[in-house]
Amino acid sequence: MSPPITATYRLQFNREFRFADARALVPYLRDLGISHLYASPICAARPGSSHGYDVVDPTVVSEELGGMEEFRRLVETARAAGLGLILDIVPNHMAADRHNGRWMETLCLGRRAPAADMFDIDWHRGRLVLPVLGGPPAEVLERGEIGFGRDGAGWIAARYFDHAFPLRPESVAALVEQAGGAPQAVEAWRSLEDEPIAEGLAEAQRALRAVDAAALDAVLAEAPAALIDAQHWRLAHWRAAERELTHRRFFNINDLVGVRVEDPAVFEIVHRLPLALVAEGSVDGLRVDHVDGLADPEAYCRRLREAMGPQALLVVEKILEGDETLRPWPVDGTTGYERLNDINGLYIDADGHRRLDGLLVRHALVLGSPKERLIAAKRQVVTESFGSELDRLAAMVAGPQPAEAWRHAALALVVHCPVYRSYATERGYGEDDEAVWRQTLADVAAHEEAPVQAAAEALIGRIRSGAVDLALRLQQLSGPAMAKGLEDTAFYRSLALASANEVGGDLEAPARSIETFHRRAAAAVGRRGLVPLATHDTKRGADTRARINLISLDSNGFLAAAARWSAMTQLLRQRTSEAVAPDALDEWLIWQTLVGVWPISGKRLAAYLTKAMREAKRHTSWEAPNWAYEDAACAFASALIEAPATAEFRADIAAFVAGLQPAARLASIAQTVLQLTAPGIPDIYRGTELWDLTLVDPDNRRPVDWEARQAAAATEPPLPRDDDTGASKLHVMRRLLTLRRGQPALFLEGDYRPLDARSGAGRWIAFERRAGEAALLVAVPTRTICEPPDRLALPGLPPAAWHSAFDDAPLDVDADGIAIERERPFLVALGKVRN
């Protein structure tokens, strides 16, 4: 019997953290109070993968992680300790990699390959374009960088550095024949041109092994480079993806190819392993990665739910924008980015955020309104990275206007879509979809020229009239456009308060009112969506955000400090050919980053800054690195941490951070209390039970010091203000997770009733949860840097014998309210009340 899912703990598997390592942690995680391990993808991925999302074979467990035998041992150990397991799966894409046998088969046999239907390839556009070359094909060939050779898996392939591209059967047959190979080998390969079947390919590969290796190698060494022109694929410069790409990718990553999971046969292959593990009881639920990348998310979720059964947990990674709600799919909820932002937003002061943003606007460090910035960022990324997708959309539309007009219309619709996507299919569309289109067209009308407006109206009109293929392709593009435009561009440019720029965040209104939090929390009662504070994809750790959030409460204090730090370090800046590095906006990001994660090494800071600058795409980018600017900015960052001349600066920023620490630590624990007591299933990212002063990946995927966490769990809990390690947070987490596991009905199904918390100092949020006679009372401070009050007024608090959830001590409750412990101002109480 599987335990109720009361809390998950995310484990990030790779060759440095394998199933055996997780098995050793089971006693610690059990004692922490979690109910389920939550595993990153476990199927075979590209060798050396640090995350598992670059899948090469979804049907087998990764041998790098320990293989099926070690996985079963982990399951057995977890079950014996009373823990369950949730799996992360990747139905949207696979690695376009030589270790992916199905991809290699498709390259070899072309559109008629048995595996070709696995991948979302537009064969109507000609040969499969592979944008992998570091320069124009003619130059690469002239430099002799492309050769031919045998691959250990049984292919004859073109080689380009670590890449291998199998030759088509006709080419292989000719080369084998030149090498004096056995007639049966020649015939086996040649017959595949007429009948490209999997069994025939396997036989041909076996026959190839019998060919004299030395003779074949000699022939391959002399094979003409022009041979690559006769293949099912075409090698191209990596920038060719802008206009020449013939397959759908994961976002704009050239070596992650889209999978056609809407095909029932493909669905079966992709889900064979996880569904078998669910059916046998080894796995209690699935987390679906990037559901918006699929052609038909609703149909996918229905098929998956039917295959899993009604009891298994099913959550989808779906980013909800603003007041958008999850569509009525048969899932338990999302991975919870909207909940993360609701909690984080309680600790952002709206006025302070506006003041900081206004300052950046006045100094022209950011341009336009937040909405205009998002539009500009989306337009840039779609134009630069998704040109092939726009061309494909334009080609799908027949009409009196030229293709370029339709291309501009598709660009406008994608750029102005207010959410990730709509969900029109062959089954039609609903009012929610219509609302998305109306808002999109309204924004197109407000920002685009009349011809673009007219063409955009016509495109939506065709979708309303049943142009299903057009709708699907447009919707599969609008999601990546939002992700890359907002999360990976605008969030690195609009830097009024870096902690507000989180996955699923809101550029215009990152702060959350207490009323909004209550409304959304109440709506989540009875649902089993996840509630994270950090994930493998968050931009900053929860405790990093907590520190930076405090800047919004005292913007003048931060502005004075930033001016002081800028003056102290003026001589460290360098002038490049185009700008002083770092410029004022990058400098602003550096100051906030240091506030969030101090102390930090120069290497860590420079690595983060490089990624942030490239994502911002202002001076440099991943596609066109500006080494001079990057080197100068990173030298500045490193000097801040390491140069003897900056000792005064380091002392100053250390003092500034020390002044924030008491409030930041209280805010961190308060957010943890909300995560663990509000409706939903709390999801703990590995290692974050201590202070989580991390930045975006790969910084937040560094190895975890498990010994330090186990040692902290064995200590007496320190006071938060005196706690440099985070042990105070760990002990709060352990107590509340243990309560959740012991009273699942109260935490998972209990009613949610907002309470009006009043104090003389600062703002508090409070609520009551109730299931039967069991009651939970929660009250924590939000936007405050004041000393906590002695008592908290809670009008309407039901009479009960309330006692602390942390030490079972009775609480002092009277008509004036309830007593608050100044050193630990987190009120979590249990009681028994009469309905």
Partners of 563 in the beta sheet?
none
Cα–Cα dist 592/595, whole Å: 5
Say what percent of the chain tops pLDDT 70: 99
Residue 761 in this model has a pLDDT that exceeds 70 = no
pLDDT tens digits along 799-821: 888 999 998 999 988 877 888 88
Dihedral sign (CA 188, 181, 212, 146): negative
Say what percent of the chain tops pLDDT 90: 88
Better-predicted residue by pLDDT, 185 or 706: 706
Half-sphere exposure of residue 440, counting CA atoms within 13 Å on the CB side?
29
Strand order from edge to edge, sheet including 253-258: 93-95, 253-258, 249-250
pLDDT of residue 655: 98
For the chain, domain boundaries: 8-95+258-335, 101-246, 371-492, 553-658, 749-835
Among residues 109, 364, 132, the alpha carbon closest in space to that of 256 is found at 132
Average pLDDT over residues 686-691: 98
Q: Dig out the tokens for 605 from the structure.
A: 């800071």
Q: Terminus-to-terminus CA distance in the chain, angstroms?
A: 32
Pairing of strands 681-685, 530-532: parallel
Cα–Cα dist 580/831, whole Å: 61
Among residues 102, 101, 95, 103, the alpha carbon closest in space to that of 48 is found at 95
Q: Does CATH place domain 553-658 in 3.10.129.10? A: no
pLDDT tens digits along 543-555: 999 999 999 999 9
pLDDT tens digits along 380-407: 999 999 999 999 999 999 777 788 999 9
pLDDT of residue 819: 87
Cα–Cα dist 55/45, whole Å: 4
Q: Dig out the tokens for 670 from the structure.
A: 């308060």
Average pLDDT over residues 66-81: 98
pLDDT of residue 760: 66
Reported pTM = 0.96
Mean pLDDT check: name the lowest of 356-365, 406-415, 680-689, 809-818. Answer: 809-818
Q: Residue 151: what are its φ and ψ, rounded to 5°?
A: -105, 145
Average pLDDT over residues 75-81: 98
Better-predicted residue by pLDDT, 378 or 824: 378
Residue 129 in this model has a pLDDT that exceeds 80 = yes
Contact 175, 216 (CB under 8 A): yes
Partners of 364 in the beta sheet?
none
pLDDT tens digits along 7-49: 999 999 999 999 999 999 999 999 999 999 999 999 999 999 9
Give whole-number Cα distances, 507 to 326, 495, 613, in Å.
20, 10, 19
pLDDT tens digits along 305-361: 999 999 999 999 999 999 999 999 999 999 999 999 999 999 999 999 999 999 999
Better-predicted residue by pLDDT, 300 or 576: 300
Which CATH code fits 8-95+258-335?
3.20.20.80
Contact 636, 606 (CB under 8 A): no
Architecture of domain 101-246: 2-Layer Sandwich (3.30)
Q: Does CATH place domain 749-835 in 2.60.40? A: yes
pLDDT tens digits along 458-482: 999 999 999 999 999 999 999 999 9
Cα–Cα dist 768/754, whole Å: 6
pLDDT of residue 1: 65
Average pLDDT over residues 513-526: 96
Contact 497, 590 (CB under 8 A): no
Residue 716 in this model has a pLDDT that exceeds 80 = yes
